[in-house]
Amino acid sequence: MVRKRLGSWDVLVIVVLAVVVVVSSAAVEGFASSRFWGFLLLDVIPIALIALPMTLVIITGEIDLSVASVLGLSSAVMGQLWTAGVPLPLILPLILVFGMVLGAVNGLFVTGFGLPSLAVTIGTLALYRGLAYVVLGDKAVADFPPTWTGNMIEALPGTTVPWMAATVAGLAIVFGIVLHATPVGRALYAMGNNEQAATFSGISVARTKFWLFVLTATVAALAGFFWTMRYASARADNGAGLELSVVAAVLLGGVSIFGGRGSLLGVIAGVLLLITLRNALQLADVPADTLTIVTGTLLIISVVGPNSAAMLRSRLRRRRPATTPAAGG
Amino acid sequence: MRGMRTPRMRLGASVVALSALMLSATACASDDGDTPAAGGDASAGASGQIKEGLSVAFLPKQVNNPYFTVSDNGGKAAVEEFKGEYKEVGPSEASASSQVSYINTLTQQGSDVIAISANDPNAICGAVNQARQGGAKVVTFDSDTNKDCRDLFINQVTAEGIAENQVKLISDQIGGEGKIAILSATANATNQNAWIELMKAELKKPEYSKIELVTTVYGNDEDQKSFQETQGLLSSYPDLKGIISPTTVGVAAAARYLSGSQYKGKVALTGLGTPNQMREFVKDGTVKNFALWSPADLGYLAAYAGAALASGMITGKEGEKFTAGKLGEYTIGADGVVVLGPPTVFDAANIDQFDF
């Protein structure tokens, strides 16, 4: 019941997204073109990809701020492996395993030593980015074969939808099913709502969180592979600052920063809203600084909005204690 | 009951929403109403005249960076001269890939000319090629991409040009004789090292035979470190006659040290600096002259080169010539590079004409 009520925020985000799309189609020249959406989806991919596991992490009441640095470090390592002559089909699995290791470090500090994930992942944010510079310095590795770099941004036949975007959509469905229709998903909400109660009801909180951090970093490493291929450039500073976009999108999608609440549909809508708004404003020649202000304001609204809405609701509920569940709810 | 139903409903909704999104994108793909090429195609024949109404976009490494503001304004002046439409867009932070979405936007808007200073020579290649397929002419300035990705590169100066200029300036100031040192940026800065190597070669010429380069120190392009390195130089080499600092941070820090020390006016200093940073030191006599290319001219030339391409007057082949307004005639060199010219030398007589 609680979740149903809170579901209204993700509905709101979807409505806002629809309004942005409709208004922009009418007001911004070029917005309605298929090319715009092709470009937009390419921008969406890395953020949406990392937002999927990030949603699960935040729902359990934790956070992982090291994702963009994992992306950068993976990219740097990729560059070194490629320079050393390792073929790309082998680099991909190696990078994923590497991501797992980076995530395991996060997970170990958070669950093994019981440290707050905010502190741990701010630490690894700096650490992994620093290591990326150690690995690759300020140079770029860019001699990847065009077949791979071109293929990564290729659209599905007859469309402008990049196949990677379709893959991310598929992954989103898998994450959605896991989160909303399996015992694992319910356990994640339980952990976020009340960790002690979750522990007493037999959920292995530490182990679940550990694997969530592993999963998040693995996905971030995959995003690093995509990023490197898309921009045809392995660099230590790849994706710098991306963690903020990811967290902003997740929170904008209605996931509570305190854990226990949120839906994957809301997050996908949040990612699309953030990127659509940014690209539409960009297309309308709004300067970059104004864009940053818009993004920042959205983030504030997304944190303040659901919380004040929830507060308002609970106050209303207290005033009408005898409320019965609405008939059609 | 409800607790069971809601998530599944929401999942259903998410599937619907996602497929709707993908459908709308596919539906769009079938209509070809996107990107009117805005008449910017170069196939209109070589008329020798720049077309009116060309849309020219400047995409600096970063907006609100003083250097690029000046160069983009130079571009704006040129665009106004040939009656085009000017605009400047760009990211607020100079990261490698942040320029890509701006290039994409310009592609959609059907820009005729994109003048860009690349944050990463490779990361923007794909996007630039899409822009060119969409009919845009792409000119890089200040920082190049791979040569296959753009039509022309406007190089501010050649490394040889810098080396010649810097050695000449210091030699003139110390009377062609004595010990000199170089204050560089970081030890592995590609540009700096190339320039230093060429300066060493230049110093081997007979007219500089009495000049001895004693050392090169590195200020890491940090003000404090550059300041301390200058101090260190003068205590290690009390008979030092001159310092070359081919980096804007270094030359300003060295000038600040010299102006407050006993060496003011006795140890010559030159380098690559901006007039605004160096003005007070030129006026108080610490520095006689220094050099830099004019960022405004760089943007101006980039705009004219792009317009000449978009008007079909040139194609970007080696040996082709075009006229860039007040700067006169330029010839395209190998690999589609156009060199702005020798660096501008700033001294007490002309420094007040520049504001950047």
Residues of B in contact with A79 (CB under 8 A): none
Substitution target in B5, B28, B35 with the highest count of A β-carbons within 10 Å is B28
Please check the confidence at residue B96 and state whether its pLDDT lies above 90.
no
Residues B104 and B221 in one domain: no
Residues whose CB falls within 8 Å of the CB of residue A322, separated by 6 or more in sequence, listed in order: none
Number of domains in chain B: 2
Domain co-membership, B167 together with B134? no
**What pLDDT score was predicted for residue A320?**
60
Q: Is the pLDDT reported for residue B258 higher than 90?
A: yes
Above pLDDT 90, what percent of chain B?
Answer: 65
Tell me, yes or no, whether B178 and B58 share the same domain.
no
B102 to chain A: which residues are within 8 Å by CB?
282
Within this chain, do residues B186 and B278 fall inside the same structural domain, yes or no?
Answer: yes
Question: In this structure, are B203 and B54 located in the same domain?
Answer: no
Last residue of a domain, one of B253, B276, B292: B292
B65 and B129, same structural domain?
yes
- B interface mutation test: which of A267, A282, A292, A295 has the most B CBs within 10 A? A282
Is the residue at B37 inside a domain? no
Question: B100 — contact with chain A (CB < 8 Å)?
Answer: yes
Closest residue on chain B to A229 (Cα):
B123
Of A118, A80, A127, A78, residue with least CA distance to A98: A78
Query: Which has more confidence, A294 or B270?
Result: B270
- Residue B50 in contact with residue A301, Cβ under 8 Å? no
* Contact residues on chain B for A241, CB-CB shorter than 8 A: 93, 95
The nearest alpha carbon in chain A to B35 belongs to A30
CA dist A313 and A323 (Å) reads 12
CATH number at residue B109: 3.40.50.2300
Q: Verify that B255 and B299 share a domain, yes or no.
A: no
Q: Which helix (H) or strand (E) holds A209?
A: helix A205-230
Nearest to A30 among B90, B109, B124 (CB): B109
* SS3 assignment, position A78: helix
Smallest CA–CA distance, residue B352 to chain A, in Å, is 31
The answer on B248 and B100 residing in a single domain is no
Nearest to B141 by CA among B313, B293, B356, B320: B293
| Closest CB to A233 among B30, B108, B120 | B120
B102–A contact, CB cutoff 8 A? yes
Asked whether the beta carbons of residue A140 and residue B105 sit closer than 8 angstroms, the reply is: no
CB-based contact A272 B120, cutoff 8 Å: no
pLDDT at B276 over 50: yes
Q: Parse chain A into domains and list their residue ranges.
A: 2-313
Render each residue's pLDDT in chain A as its tens digit; 329 residues: 444 444 578 888 999 999 999 999 999 888 888 888 888 999 999 999 999 999 999 999 999 999 999 999 999 999 999 999 999 999 999 999 999 999 999 999 999 999 999 999 999 999 999 999 999 987 888 889 888 888 888 888 888 889 999 999 999 999 999 999 999 999 999 999 999 999 999 899 999 999 999 999 999 999 999 999 998 889 998 998 899 889 999 999 989 989 999 999 999 999 999 999 988 998 888 888 888 888 788 878 877 877 777 777 777 777 665 544 444 43
C-alpha span between A270 and A276 (Å, rounded) = 10
Predicted local distance difference test score (pLDDT) of residue B268: 96
**pLDDT surpassing 70 at residue B39:** no
Instruction: Quote the mean pLDDT of chain B.
Output: 85
Q: Residues B304, B336: one domain?
A: yes
Q: Do B263 and B163 belong together in one domain? A: yes
Residues B320-332 have a mean pLDDT of 93
- Identify the CA nearest to B101 among candidates A269, A206, A43, A86: A43
The verdict on residue B280 lying in a domain is yes
Centroid of chain to Cα A301: 18
Q: What is the DSSP letter of A320?
A: S
Nearest to B89 by CA among B72, B77, B67, B74: B72
pLDDT at A7: 58
Looking at residue A161, the DSSP 8-state letter turns out to be: -
Same domain as B288, residue B163: yes
Torsion angle of the four alpha carbons A32, A37, A40, A41, in this order, in degrees rounded to the nearest 10: 160
Q: Are B323 and B242 in the same domain?
A: no
* Environment class of A105 (CB within 10 Å of its CB; exposed 0-12, middle 13-18, buried 19+): buried
Tally Cβ neighbours within 10 Å of residue B20. 10
Asked whether residue B5 is assigned to any structural domain, the reply reads no
Q: pTM of the entire structure? A: 0.75
CATH architecture, domain defined by A2-313: Orthogonal Bundle (1.10)
Query: Is some CB atom of chain A closer than 8 A to the CB atom of B90?
Result: yes
pLDDT, one tens digit per residue, over B45-63 is 344 789 999 999 999 988 8
Cβ atoms B331, B321 nearer than 8 A: yes
State the Cα–Cα distance between residues B75 and A166, nearest whole angstrom. 41
pLDDT score recorded for residue A321: 53
Query: B8-38 pLDDT, tens per residue?
Result: 444 444 444 444 444 444 333 333 333 333 3
Which of A29, A34, A274 has the highest number of chain B CBs within 10 A, making it the mutation to test binding with B?
A34
B11 Cβ under 8 Å from any chain A Cβ: yes
Q: Given an 8 Å threshold on Cβ–Cβ distance, is B120 in contact with A325?
A: no
Q: Do A158 and B92 touch (CB under 8 A)?
A: no
Domain that holds residue B137: 46-156+295-340
**pLDDT given for residue B14 in this prediction:** 45
Q: What average pLDDT score do residues B74-98 get? A: 90
